[in-house]
Structure 1
Amino acid sequence: MLDSLDAGAVRRWCAGTLSALRRSQREIDALNVFPVADSDTGTNLVLTLQAAVDALPDTGGPREVWAAMARGALLGARGNSGMILSQLLAGAAAALPSDRPVGGRALATALTAAVDAGYSAVAQPVEGTVLSVAGAAARAATEVDTDALPTVSAAALEAARRALESTPAQLAAMGLPGVVDAGGRGLVVMLDVLDTVVRGAVVDLAAPEPEPVPAAGVQEGWEIQYLLASREPDVPGLAKRLSEIGDSVVVAYVEPSLWSVHVHADDIGAALEAGLELGRPHQVAVTPLIARVRTASASGRAIVAVVPGAGLAAVFAAAGAVPVEGAPRSDELLSAIERMGADEVVLLPNSDAHVPVAEEAAAAAGATVSVLHTRSVVQGIAALAVADRARSFRDDVVAMAEAAAATRWAEVVIADEAGLTMAGPCRVGDVLGLVDGDVAAIGVAVPDVVTNVLDRLLNAGGELVTVVLGAAAGPSLEAFVQAHLHTHWPFCEVHVIDGGQPRAVVVIGVE
């Protein structure tokens, strides 16, 4: 583990972040709903980090390397998300010490400065976005109050993950689909790589090349970016002027006499004239804002799934579904359905509790909506795995329903109240193992109950085991489950997912 960040660590972090964002590019693109559902946040973050990597110097200390990375990101920033991310990097770089090692407290100070810079650059900050996630990370890093770098990086990462899980509700309050914020997800990727570097673990540099973003969809204005050369710009006045003609306004400081400007607007000329009043706009980039129907295929079909955690949201999004996190109301599900613009929709409630609101939303929708009564996320995963838009809608629904029904499931939870169950009395804090929704085992240790329900499911047969780890799953639980299955059920294929669900410590599916 590192006691402090040196220049080499900053370089590894930057390169590792680019690779990790490339691996997550399609997932983050699929999550993109704010400020425009144009499915390009992952792509823009990749291109912004590529510019940062290209600017990395071979010499210098950690502050100099971080500052060069931030400058490269600012000059090459793409999109609203890239602009904000580059400003976060720049704010942090300016706060790093040059006369002492970058330990835990220095990193916490830098993260706090990053948040201040991010909020100051955005004309109209919105909660439930990357700024909220960055703020949570900075607060946690400060509150641990230690110079131990691994403790600070771990605290920042964990707080960012929790904040990301809160973004669906914040975005839903603005009438947007209940998915985690795409920019916030990108920041969590960055902090995850930083924590990996600090822990001294190997950084995975394998990644595919960036993929182009498809252009199909409905245009909703223009994204306008330029660098503004100006000796004494009226930044508040420029931000106000741009806010009058558009939104998503970011005015970011790059270096003396140079600013980076971003706005979404219908009038390209007005956006450029606002800059001309203060200096010389150059490196102008104008891109059409295309609001895309992200999961509807050419046949006009979409899949909407209710999921309980950020990790599961990413899994469903990557597989082509639109995830709606938490316990949505029927109007929230209806909004997600309508935003797809699809003629045919399969709705996966993934819990008995969500079936009534799913059916209510389906009844109110203008599209043809089929609600599959998936009782668990693992049944939803099984249904999604066999979805095939080449089939007729009826045949596809039947195949998905059969796959879900063939998946036996269990979950392990912690009892929050005493009661009498089918397996006997339980007390608060007991570990409960539920099989197909009924309590089948009660214990005091999570691993013991997990193996109990695993064996119950596999004794009835099965070749494929899906294990979804919740937010409360300990770091050793995955290895324990893998070892148990390898020893007692060696012929099973095992898939482990970091689901992040808040209630169930583990969800298990057997097919």
Structure 2
Amino acid sequence: MMRAGAKALELKKQKVDALNVFPVPDGDTGTNMNLTIQSAVKDAEKTSGDSVAEVAAAISMGSLMGARGNSGVILSQLLRGIAKSLEGLNTVSAQQMAQALQLGVDTAYKAVMKPVEGTILTISREIAKGALARAKQGGTPLETLVEAYQKGQQALLKTPEMLPILKQAGVVDAGGQGFLIIIGGWVSALEGHVLEEPLSPPVQRGELDKEAQPGFLVVENLEYPYCTEFLVKGKNLNADQIRQDLNGKGDSLLVVGTDEVVKIHIHVKNPGKILDYAIQFGSLHEVGIHNMLSQNEAMAHALKNKEKEEQGVNSVPLEQNEQNTEAEMLKEHGVVAAAMGQGIAEVLKSLGVDEVVFGGQTMNPSTEDLAEAVRRIPAKNIYILPNNGNIIMAARQVKDVITDKNIFIIPTKSIPQGISALVNYDPEGDPEENAQNMEKGLTQIKSGEVTYAVRDSQFGDLDIKSGDILGLVENVIQITGNELLEVAQSTLEKMQWRDHDLVTIFYGEDIPEEEAQNLKDWLEKEVSSIEVELYPGHQSLYYYIFGVE
């Protein structure tokens, strides 16, 4: 079943990617889910036993270690709950299968706080309901799973009515579609098919076999645009009281935890008010505030080949001595950071990063990639800088994998944010203060990028054509045009660079040094007092990455 589900998604991952509503090349739902389930199958293949419990346990660990992006993390939690339900079983009945699907749903819901309906969680819940109903009627495992699949199809077609963003884009939910494709593979396996093509194509509104249509996103339709999540650490905390106090302040509220640590997640209009309220109870940690636009994983540039895919996730350690010696014993602090270009990696190393994990955009490093980098650092306290919003959830799961080190996730969503965090990093400082100071650094810098459109779309008032040059500020499309230099200049203007002291530019692998120098010369000519730092980032997909502070 797992082999068939993984094969089905592998064949249809690009169609799932196409359901994303943001037109820039970025992390993809289909790609991330595919890489996650491939990791799960890889671990399942290594099991020597043939009980469902053993196979499911391997799948759970493999998916946890291989989870990439938000969608991959959610999928790993679904599989984790399924494995928990199957513990101790050699074989599984229809009733037990249905119960396992339900526990998978329960586990996933808990992992992603209180969700908005119309997502993969909604689809998984309806799948479990369908399975439980058929199993209670005496259905076989195959009949139970077919009923579950059909209920999932019906729910998927309703997702545009649940989420305005999907309705505007004219697509169904990408994560739900991906999970349904996996379930279709499971059905195919139980029917005894050798899966060369998926059981069913991705479901579109209208005809089932239609290709996904490009969509657009209207931010103004989001009543509560800022996703705010953080930890409160204190004494005698009351999660129920906090939940009651915050009820009505926004949506997607979830407050969970203990009397010493409480996790808060809420979508609001003004994040500052929530933080001001929470700080009365103790110290705030792992603060993450972002516009929900960044949560919509984008249509990515297709991976060129499998070799590049494998190279894209390899961790590249700092230059090491020829042999580790006893003198390199445990130190206090170490830093892991994600980067998408060798030039960017070198800058990060110069600022104190011990291990650079290559990835980001279309190739998100997995939890296992990050965990391996953590293990290589002989330090008690490790700070992880994801440097990409789509890597943060995978980074947070490292805490579940490595328990013999103190791990701090600094929720950096861009390379400039990562650099700003490193500027505030003290290799000799107190761990908690270090983490707090690094997070404070995230508010001291503006991030911008110049990339290209991968398809036609309408974004707000911008009419975007495939191949257009796009300028983004804090992950929001602000500029579109045909001339690279003009778009770069306009993007910097949107970042209000003239009001700041320092502009940092990383130019990509497709930009000649002379062309990047022309941009630097323009900045210095416009404002002679400003400091401009220019680096060859060697990143793909993004012509320029800007930091303004």
TM-score of the superposed pair, with normalisation by structure 2: 0.41
* Higher relative contact order (CA closer than 8 Å, sequence separation 6+): 2
